[in-house]
Amino acid sequence: MERRWIVKQMRLLFAVLTLLCGAALTAGELDSPVGYWMTIDDNDGKPRGIVKIEEKEGELVGHIVKVFPRPGEEDNPVCVKCKGEMAGKRAIGMRVLWGMKKDGDEWNGGGVMDPDNGETYKGYLKLQSFGRKLKLRGYVGISLFGRSQIWLRQQNFKETTTK
């Protein structure tokens, strides 16, 4: 009897927290990074873009779908520092995340690309804050030598078809 009461109280607490944090997420959104994510600039803390993460053949892949340009920047800039197949490509549509596979409560084994410097890194993802935040860690060699970003889930983002 006491266990049932505790379970009910935990469910009630979770429901209240969900309402306080914004619109409720579905169970699938709570345990998957699939969706739209706002990236935040490391230097000024302002939104930098929106990345759409999809699952394809059991792996996560992410593409830029929106850019928040700074004054003097194009709406869809060319990646001048990118190398290889990404050299000279426009930001919107650019693949910035690939090959991540679920491993426990993380997704890893893939890579990430930083369009600001054109470098690619090994990486992993982990959901936080009931699926509303995504910790992205990019690194060279071992995870100790890298940096992390927190991306914010965008539930109501509507992708436009203009690039």
Does the global pTM surpass 0.85? Answer: no
Residue 67 and residue 115: Cα distance in Å, rounded? 11
Q: What rounded mean pLDDT belongs to the chain?
A: 85
Q: Which of 40-44, 57-61, 91-95 has the lowest mean pLDDT?
A: 40-44
SS (H, E, C) the chain: CHHHHHHHHHHHHHHHHHHHCCCCCCHHHHCCCCEEEEEECCCCCCEEEEEEEEEECCEEEEEEEEECCCCCCCCCCECCCCCHHHCCCECCCCEEEEEEEEECCEEEEEEEEECCCCEEEEEEEEEEHHHCEEEEEEECCCCCCEEEEEEEECCCCCCCCCC
Convert the pLDDT of each residue in 3-46 to its tens digit: 665 545 545 444 433 434 444 455 555 789 999 999 999 889 99
What is the residue type of 103? D
Of residues 24 and 66, more confidence is placed in 66
User: What pLDDT does 145 receive?
Assistant: 84
Q: List pLDDT tens digits, range 98-149.
A: 999 999 999 999 999 999 899 999 999 999 999 999 999 999 987 788 899 9
Span 94-106, pLDDT tens digits: 999 999 999 999 9
